[in-house]
Amino acid sequence: MNRRQFLMSVAMGATAISALSGVRPANAATPSKRLSVTKRTLDVNGRSASVFGLTDPSGKPGLVADAGSTIDLQLANETTDSTLIHWHGLTPPWKMDGVPDNPAALLKPGETRAYSLPAGEGGTQWMHAHTLQEQNLLAAPLIVRTAEDRAADEQEVVIMLHDFSFKSPEELLEGLKKGGMAPGMGMDHSKMMGSMPGMQAMHQMLSGGSGMDMPMSGMNMGMDVNDIEYDAYLSNDRTLNDPEVVTVEKGGRVRLRIINGATATGFTIDTGPITGDLIAVDGRPVVAISGNRFPISMGQRLDIRLQLPAGRGAYPVLALREGAAERTGIILATTGAEIGKISASGLEAGPILDLSLEQRLRAASQLQKKEPDRKYSAMLGGDMASYTWGIQTDRPIVARKGERVRLDLMNMSMMAHPVHLHGHHFQVIAINGARMSGAVRDTVLMPPMAALTIDFDADNPGHWPLHCHHLYHMASGMMTFVTYEDLT
C-alpha cells in the first residue's frame, strides 16, 4: 500500500475531520455546496450539552475548497434561532462577510441564503457565528487547499479548539460585568490606565523612543490572563478524557491545521518530543520555524508539519491553556500503538502568550513595498473591574480602494487582545518600535502594553470590523471599523 492509499484507508476509518477530498482533480467543476446550522447534543465529561453544529450534508463539520475557486454555497439555518456565519480568513465582498446587520441581516429560522465566496490563495481558515452563539460551538473549519497541498505526500489533520461552559454565554457575560472574576486582579488597572500619557506614550513607543523602555511587555505581574473558568477545553469536540485518536502511518508526514475557535482562551500547542515546522499562520505561509511549542490566540490558525518517527508510536498533540494547568488535544497513533491516558490537567500552567514567536515570523510572500497613503493610531483600552473595553482611534479609519493603510496599534490595558481585521490580510511591520517584515495574517495578539504596526492594502470596499477576538471583550465594546470612502 502506498502512502496515498494508506491515507485513503485512514479516511475511510473516518477518524479525522479531514476528508481528504483533495484527490478530486483541481479542474473539476465545483458543485454547489451546502452548509447547515443545526442543533446537536454533545457529551462533555459525561454530561450532555446542547450546542450548535455547522455541517455539510454528510454531517461533517465545515468546508473544504480548492484555492482560487469560488465557493458556491447554500447556507441553511435549521435551528429555531436567528444566526449568521462569518468566514474568518476569507476576503469576500462585504455583503457576504457575515457580521449581523453589517450589512446583511441575520438568517431567520428555516431560511437559506446563497453565497459566492472567493476561496482565496489557500490556507487554514474557519467560520463562526459573529454573535454569542460562537460560545455554543457555532464554528467549523474552512480548509482551502492548493494544488501543492493536494499533491503533497502528507496526511492532513485538522484540530479545532474550543472552550466550553455549561453556562450560557449571556450568563457568562453578565458574570463578567458583575466582576465575578475579581480574584487574580493584582492592581487597580483603571488607575494604571489613567497614569499612562495615552497617545503620546504610544507614539514614543512606536518610534522606539525613550521614556518607556518596554518594561511592561514581558510583565506578567498584575496582568489579567483568563477571565472565564470553563467547564472543559475541547479538541474536535472532545476532551482528553476521551480524545480523538487519528491513525497515522509509521514514519509518515502530517500537516496539522490548528484553529483556535475558543472564545476567551489562548493556548500553546505542544507537539511533545516531535519537533514540528510552523509553515503558516492564519492560513498564510511563513518562513518555516521549527519547535515544539507554538502560541495560538483566539481566532488564529497554525499549520505545523510533523515528520513522525519510523516505528510504532502514539504522539499527543496538546493545547495547553494559557496561564493554567488545563489542557486539551488529540493523539496521533500508528496502528497497534499503545495509547496511554493523558490527564486533562497538566502539572504546570501553560505559558503566557507573548510576542516572542511573532517577532520571529517572516512572511513567505510579502506585501509589496509601498509607503502608506494613510496612517491611523488605535489604542486598546479597558479593564476587568468595570468590564468595559474599547478601541479608540485618533480619527475614524477611512480608506479608498487602491490605498496602502497603516495602523499603529497600542494596547493600554492589562489584558492581551487578539486583534482581527475583516475583509483583508495585513502584514505585521513593527513590534514595539522594531521594524520587521513580519507575518501576513488576519488576527494578531496584542499583549498588555504592546505596540504593533500593521499595513494592509485597501482592496475590498466595505465597512469592515476591526475588533478583539475575545468574544466578551468584543461584546463589551472592543470593536471599531475601517470604512471605505467609495462605498456604494
Binding-site ranges for Cu ion (CB under 5 A): 417, 468, 470, 473
Q: Please provide the distance, in angstroms rounded to a whole number, between the alpha carbons at the two ends of the chain.
A: 57
CB crowding 206-232: b at 16 or more within 10 Å, else e: beeeeebebebbeeeeebbbbbbebeb
CB 389, min distance to Cu ion, A: 6
Instruction: Say how far apart CA 336 and CA 312 lie, in whole Å.
Output: 7
Grid coordinates given for 263: 472564545
143 vs 475, beta carbon nearer Cu ion: 475
The set of residues, in sequence order, having a beta carbon less than 8 Å from that of 85 and lying 6+ positions away, is: 35, 37, 54, 75, 98, 127, 128, 129, 130, 138
CB 473, min distance to Cu ion, A: 3
284 vs 470, beta carbon nearer Cu ion: 470
Per the CB < 8 A criterion, the answer to whether 63 and 35 are in contact is: yes
Q: Would strands 443-446 and 397-399 be described as parallel, antiparallel, or unpaired?
A: unpaired
CB 184, min distance to Cu ion, A: 16
Nearest one of 442, 410, 437 to 426, comparing CA atoms: 442
Q: How many C-beta neighbours within 10 Å does residue 486 have? A: 10
| Residue 203: strand, helix, or coil | helix
156 vs 383, beta carbon nearer Cu ion: 383
Q: Would strands 155-164 and 253-260 be described as parallel, antiparallel, or unpaired?
A: parallel
255 vs 422, beta carbon nearer Cu ion: 422
CB 477, min distance to Cu ion, A: 10
Q: Looking at this protein, which amino acid is placed at residue 441?
A: R
238 vs 321, beta carbon nearer Cu ion: 321
361 vs 468, beta carbon nearer Cu ion: 468
224 vs 303, beta carbon nearer Cu ion: 224
C-alpha distance from residue 93 to each of 61, 62, 119, 223, 380 (Å)? 24, 20, 12, 38, 27
441 vs 473, beta carbon nearer Cu ion: 473
CB 92, min distance to Cu ion, A: 25
179 vs 402, beta carbon nearer Cu ion: 179
CB 277, min distance to Cu ion, A: 30
CB 470, min distance to Cu ion, A: 4
Query: Could you tell me where the beta strands, DSSP code E, fall in 224-358?
Result: 232-235, 245-248, 253-260, 267-270, 276-281, 284-291, 293-296, 301-307, 314-321, 327-334
Grid coordinates given for 229: 473558568
φ, ψ of residue 250 in degrees (nearest 5): -55, 130
Query: Looking up cell 482581527, which residue turns up?
Result: 420
CB 406, min distance to Cu ion, A: 22
DSSP 136: G
CB 192, min distance to Cu ion, A: 16
Report the half-sphere exposure of 352 (CA within 13 A, side-chain side). Answer: 17
CB 229, min distance to Cu ion, A: 17
357 vs 384, beta carbon nearer Cu ion: 384
DSSP secondary structure string for all residues of 386-397: TTEEEEEESS-E
37 vs 444, beta carbon nearer Cu ion: 444
Instruction: Say how far apart CA 104 and CA 452 lie, in whole Å.
Output: 31
CB 223, min distance to Cu ion, A: 13
